[in-house]
Amino acid sequence: MRLLPLLITSLAFAVVGCSRNNASAPASARATIKVRTTRLETVNLTLTQALPATVHPLESATLAARVMGSVNGADFAVGQSVKAGELLLSLNAAELPARLAQARAALAQAEREAIREAALVRQNATAADNALAAEDHRRIAAAAVNEAEALLSYTRIVAPFSGTITKKLVNSGDFAAPGTPLLAIEARDRLRAEVQVPATFAAPAAGSVLPVQLDSASDPLNTELVEFSAAADPLTQTRLAKLELPQNSAVRSGQFVRVLWPIGTAPSLLIPTSAVQLFGQMERVFVVTSEGRAQLRLVKTATYSSALTRILAGLAAGETIILNPAATLRDGQSVIVSP
């Protein structure tokens, strides 16, 4: 009866031994598989240096009181979108409407006197100087009306442009004196990346398109160089450059980005990112040999874009690499190139 368990155990070891022998079979004995390939060619690649930059709005303003009064209707909130000319708050200055009424009354009286003096001059009943003096009084009264109207308009705080409220510095009921900051607003549609460029770097022409990288996971945005200082800062030996970001891009004011500044050109190899496999801390690529076999190569790479990778070492122009290599592909395995 003890022979049956011993027989089963022996069979189990035999099966395991066969399985291990199959897994360790040489790559040359594996089945031939079809692969897609591409041929490497040298391209004249523009080399860039990543420079830290900060996003700023093209238009920003801090609105302050120009007359004295208490704050009314400050019901807006930080982050609220507003349109150009929209009323944001008002100041209660009761003396200004009274001043305007007084100026208008004085203007009406001055106009009547000017009309009367002009009529007397036509009748030779008064001197011409009297008519001129009356006209001067009328112009002074008209200027007083304009001044009172301007002061009254300062009690209405409106958005100077369309944008977003970034700071709220007062609340309803607060007292505001001339010069008191009330709120801050930034334009939301036009943003610029401002970067300090080393003075030794070349200066691209105005209007040049430069890439700006928001993060390592996304492709760079194409931006336009709109301003570049001709003078270098004597302390940092850098020059300020401003690049206009495309509208509706996923950036916000104050965000940190990287400008890929051109520093020269060099012959380089670019391959599809899908051809590179990660093996622990190593990067590898499969090359098709002249005998029609897959050859494993360890490579050193640098990020170029989400779709393309720059080869720094391990490959040469003219070689054929395998695209999207299968996880089961092994070094030395026979391959057939798909058309």
Q: Is residue 77 part of a domain?
A: yes
So what's the pLDDT on residue 13?
Answer: 40
The answer to whether position 245 is within a domain reads yes
Q: How far is CA 236 from CA 55, 198, 199, 200, in A?
A: 20, 8, 9, 12
Determine, yes or no, domain membership for 20. Answer: no
Kindly state whether residues 77 and 183 are assigned to the same domain.
yes
- CATH number of the domain bearing residue 310: 2.40.420.20
162 and 84 in a common domain: yes
Render 38-57 in DSSP notation, one character per residue: EE--EEEEEEEEEEEEEEEE
Say if 325 falls within a structural domain: yes
CA dist., res. 77 & res. 269, Å (int) = 52
Digit-by-digit pLDDT tens for the chain (339 residues) are: 444 444 334 434 433 444 444 445 565 557 888 899 999 989 888 888 899 999 999 999 999 999 999 999 899 999 999 999 999 999 999 999 999 999 999 999 999 999 998 998 888 888 888 889 999 999 999 999 999 999 999 999 999 999 999 999 999 999 999 999 999 999 888 899 999 999 999 888 889 999 999 887 777 889 999 999 999 999 999 999 999 998 878 888 899 999 999 988 888 899 999 899 988 889 999 999 989 999 999 999 987 777 888 899 999 999 999 999 988 899 999 998 887
| pTM over cut 0.85 | no
Check whether residue 76 and residue 162 sit in a common domain: yes
Task: Report yes or no on 17 lying in a domain.
Answer: no
Domain, as residue range, for 78:
61-88+158-188
Token pair 């009328």: residue: 138
Specify if 221 maps to a domain.
Answer: yes
Task: State the pLDDT at residue 104.
Answer: 96
In this structure, the answer to whether residues 198 and 251 fall within a common structural domain is yes
Inter-residue long-range contacts of 131-138, CB under 8 Å, 24+ positions, other chains counted: 134/110, 137/110, 137/113, 138/107, 138/110, 138/111, 138/113, 138/114
Residue 295 shares a structural domain with residue 199: no
80 and 121 belong to one structural domain = no
State the CATH number of the domain containing residue 133. Answer: 1.10.287
CB 38 within 8 A of CB 255: no
Asked, for residue 213, whether it belongs to a domain, the answer is yes
Residue 258 and residue 212 in one domain: yes
262 and 194 part of one domain: yes
Residues 221 and 321 in one domain: no
User: Both 193 and 261 in a single domain?
Assistant: yes
* Structural domain ending residue among the three candidates 154, 179, 202: 154
Is 53 within a domain? yes
Question: CATH number for the domain including 176?
Answer: 2.40.50.100
With helix as H, strand as E and coil as C, how does 167-205 read?
EECCCCCCEECCCCEEEEEECCCCEEEEEEEECCCCCCC
For residue 18, the model assigns a pLDDT of 41
Q: Are residues 197 and 240 in the same domain?
A: yes
Q: For residue 88, what are its two tokens?
A: 């944001």
- Looking at residue 229, which CATH number applies to its domain? 2.40.30.170
Residue 182 confidence (pLDDT)? 96
Number of domains in the chain: 4
Residues 134 and 199 in one domain: no
- pLDDT at 28 (0 to 100): 58
Q: Look at residues 230, 251, 266 and tell me which one is the last residue of a structural domain.
A: 266
45 with 211: CB under 8 angstroms? no
Strand positions, DSSP E, 187-328: 191-198, 209-213, 221-228, 238-244, 256-272, 277-279, 282-288, 294-303, 308-313, 320-323
